[in-house]
Amino acid sequence: MHFFLILLLHFLIHITSWGESAGAISVSLQMLANGGNTEGLFRAAFMESGAPVPVGDITHGQKYYDSIVANTGCSSATDTLACLRTVPYASLKAAINKTPGIFSFQVIGHHLFTKFIAPN
């Protein structure tokens, strides 16, 4: 029994995170968040077919959140996130579809430019 407890502790201490595609993007962002301090959640990571997406400071995304809130009718709610959780899927999806997607952003040098592609 003692052996198995030591083995379990060994595995708990040596956790490796893994992600593929969008999961790899998530893992890489978790590694970079908080100044790279994973707070002991994992010690290493494998990323397959994904890397950090350069989106800049998180506060730059506030306008997109505000847009989704407005397009779902949650602007007057005291708790906009709680309101968004009650919005029907079709309405939420329509609001999200009005925001730029992951491929709408291009990085040139150290500058982040948004490229809006007109729908066909």
Which amino acid appears at position 26 of this protein?
A: S
**From CA 8, how far away is CA 10, in angstroms rounded?**
5
Which amino acid appears at position 34 of this protein?
A: N
**Catalytic position from the list 17, 21, 76, 104:** 21
For 17, residues 6+ apart whose C-beta sits below 8 A from its C-beta are 27, 30, 31, 41, 42, 44, 45, 46
Q: Is 21 a catalytic residue?
A: yes
Residue with tokens 């998180």: 58
Sign of CA pseudo-dihedral 67, 103, 113, 53 = positive
Q: Cite the active site residues.
A: 21
